[in-house]
Amino acid sequence: MLVVDLDGTLLRSDMLYETFWSAFGGDWRTPFLAVASLFGGRAALKRRLADTAQIDAATLPYDPDVIAYIKTWREAGGQTALVTASDQAIADSVAEQLGIFDEAHGSDGNTNLKGSRKATFLDQRFGINGFSYMGDCSADLPVWSRAGKAITVNASAALRRQAEHVCAVVEHLSTAAPSLHTYAQALRPHQWLKNVLVFLPMLAAHQFDAATFLVLFLAFTSFSLVASSVYVLNDLLDLSADRAHPRKKNRPFAAGRIPIAHGIWLVVLLFGLGALAAAVIGWEFLMVMTGYFVLTTAYSLYLKRRIVIDICVLAGLYTIRIVAGGVAMETTLSVWLLAFSIFFFLSLAAVKRQAELVDSAKHGNLTTVGRGYHVDDLPIMPMIAIGAGYVAVLVMALYTNSPAVADLYPRPEALWGVAAVLIYWITRTVMVAHRGHMHDDPVIYAAKDRISQLCLLVIIVCVLTGMIP
């Protein structure tokens, strides 16, 4: 009999964390309810989370090497059993999905089937040395001590030595381990491009001194760290939704390439470092960063599933970056800049949702997973994007004729070129999304798109021309 553990062995994840984050994503009260459940023991906690969470066994990140080992064992005529500390409902759903186990056993809400309890259970069911056991952590040592054969999966060198000490026959199985590159992917550094917006107040005010640049660079760093902490948190909350997505399923946490427990520590570490950098700038900037974190967390937990509110919040999150830049350099922001920002980024947020709906329609889905929109809403999104985008251009045009421009630009008429380019770019971006060619956030798409890069170059030329005496 081959007995296989689930968490960290058959599965490149841990179902306790999986069920917690799934439940938390659906109900913000989950942490408080989880603490209350702990008074009944870990098994009671697992039962409550399993009952609340929405887990699709078909999309879980299974280890293909472990599955291949189990299939080889069965082909040789051996029997297999899934025995896990995860709840019985989880064990049953996994066993039913894979179809490679003769039986499945898990925690029953009263007894946490882990460590010595699992060892006793297996003794009673199969007898001492009557089974081979495949596991991954130190909690499996009591089981290995009673097994006829110990099989470790991605165990550390120290754990391998301990397994060899308690069991006469030991086999070590190693699969892919997370790399620094994988952790870097989880931070989404390509999204840091959005944080360049903190430099916009400096550019708008033509305040190009070294001191201003250095303080804004520190602000950029703070924003990038805090934003990455939010990205990791969002990935933990969206595990199921990401796995159902054709591209997001390859994200490190969704694919099981980074342990979920590491994600929790990443959130704390990144936010802590970002807050420290913000505190160096000043308490006002720290308050802005705290507000950004709270708003993005609320967005991840609830607001992103509310139609219209979600795109308004996204526009606000972009604008907060500009506000943060103004706070960092201790300057009063132009009303023109804020108005342009709100409408322009509302347009991009609508394009983002439009692209998601087009993708859903292409794959035959009626709704976007984790969002409040229906495919029938698709005709409305480009209307919002075009309308908001053109209003942003109107604000730009009115600003061009304002007295403030005359003070900053000797040739303000050159800025009309910026308005013309924006009309073209916004219209083209909506059409690209309509055709299903936009697979990234519009800002990230623009950074990679040659036409968008050319548009940016023309805008820079227009602005520089306007500055020539």
Question: Is 180-330 in the same CATH topology as 2-173?
Answer: no
Name the strands in the sheet holding 170-173, side by side, starting at the edge strand that comes first in the sequence: 103-107, 80-87, 2-4, 132-135, 149-153, 170-173
Work out the angle between the directed axes of helices 210-237 and 283-301 (0-180°, nearest 10). Answer: 20
Locate the domains of the chain by residue range: 2-173, 180-330, 334-469
Predicted local distance difference test score (pLDDT) of residue 193: 86
Predicted local distance difference test score (pLDDT) of residue 366: 62
Cβ atoms within 10 Å of 393's Cβ, excluding its own: 21
Tokens of 156: 């550390």
Residue ranges of alpha helices (H) inside 53-209 are 64-75, 88-98, 116-126, 141-144, 157-166, 180-186, 200-205
The strand pair at 103-107 and 132-135 is best described as unpaired
Tokens of 188: 């989404």
Predicted local distance difference test score (pLDDT) of residue 370: 61
Give dist(CA 463, CA 207) in Å, integer: 15
**What are the percentages of helix, strand and coil residues in the chain, rounded to 5?**
70, 5, 25
Angle at 140 between CA 135 and CA 142, to 5 degrees: 140
What sign does the CA torsion over 377, 383, 386, 389 have?
negative
Predicted local distance difference test score (pLDDT) of residue 203: 85
Predicted local distance difference test score (pLDDT) of residue 10: 94
Q: How far is CA 54 from CA 42, 59, 94, 105, 263, in A?
A: 19, 12, 14, 20, 20
3-state DSSP call for residue 164?
A: helix
Superfamily of domain 2-173: HAD superfamily/HAD-like (3.40.50.1000)
Phi-psi region of 154 (alpha: psi -120 to 50; beta: other; left: phi over 0): left
Q: How far is CA 197 from CA 57, 277, 440, in A?
A: 41, 17, 19
Instruction: Give mean pLDDT in consecutive 10-residue pieces for the chain, a chain of 469 residues.
Output: 93 92 84 87 92 89 93 92 94 94 93 92 90 93 93 92 91 82 88 89 84 93 93 88 79 88 92 94 93 90 86 92 91 86 93 88 69 83 94 91 79 88 94 86 86 92 85
3-state DSSP call for residue 417?
A: helix
Domain 180-330: CATH architecture, name and number where available: Orthogonal Bundle (1.10)
Q: How far is CA 178 from CA 139, 233, 246, 256, 364, in A?
A: 22, 18, 22, 9, 34
Specify which residues 82 forms β-bridges with.
4, 104
Q: How far is CA 342 from CA 22, 83, 110, 147, in A?
A: 32, 54, 53, 64
Give dist(CA 313, CA 304) in Å, integer: 8
